[in-house]
C-alpha cells in the first residue's frame, strides 16, 4: 500500500474491528457508527483512494467486493428482504475515508435516496 488509512490498519489488524471476512483481496467488517441494523464495510486490501483511481488491474478485487457482499448478506439473513450497496467518491459523493470501500446496509426498510427513477 502506498499510504495508510484507518482501513489499512484494520486490514493488517493493528486496529481491532469486528471482521466478518478477509482474503487476499478484500476485508469486510462492521461499521462502528452503523446507519442501519446491518452496516458492513467491504474494503479493498490494496489502497485505491477513490473510484477515479481504479484501473484494469483492480477488476478482480472490485468483483470480489460484490461476491463478498452477497455472501455476507446471506450470512446476515438480509438477502431475501434486500439490502443496499453504496460506494461514495470524493467530496460531493460524501467519501470520508480515501480508501475504496463499499457499504452494505440492511436489516430494515431503507429510505429513499437520489436515484434514476423518473416521474
By annotation, the residues acting in catalysis are: 101
Instruction: Tell me how far apart the alpha carbons of residues 39 and 43 are, in angstroms, rounded to a whole number.
Output: 13
Spatial contact of 56 and 66, defined as CB atoms under 8 Å apart: no
Amino acid at each position: 500500500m502506498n499510504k495508510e488509512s484507518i482501513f489499512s490498519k484494520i486490514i493488517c489488524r493493528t486496529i481491532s474491528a469486528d471482521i466478518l471476512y478477509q482474503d487476499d483481496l478484500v476485508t469486510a467488517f462492521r461499521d462502528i457508527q452503523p446507519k442501519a441494523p446491518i452496516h458492513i464495510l467491504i474494503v479493498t486490501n490494496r489502497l485505491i483512494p477513490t473510484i477515479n483511481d481504479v484501473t484494469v488491474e483492480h477488476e478482480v478485487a472490485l468483483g470480489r467486493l460484490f461476491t463478498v457482499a452477497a455472501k455476507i448478506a446471506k450470512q446476515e439473513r438480509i438477502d431475501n428482504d434486500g439490502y443496499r450497496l453504496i460506494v461514495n467518491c470524493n467530496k460531493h459523493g460524501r467519501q470520508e475515508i480515501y480508501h475504496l470501500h463499499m457499504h452494505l446496509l440492511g436489516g430494515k426498510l431503507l429510505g429513499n435516496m437520489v436515484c434514476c427513477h423518473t416521474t
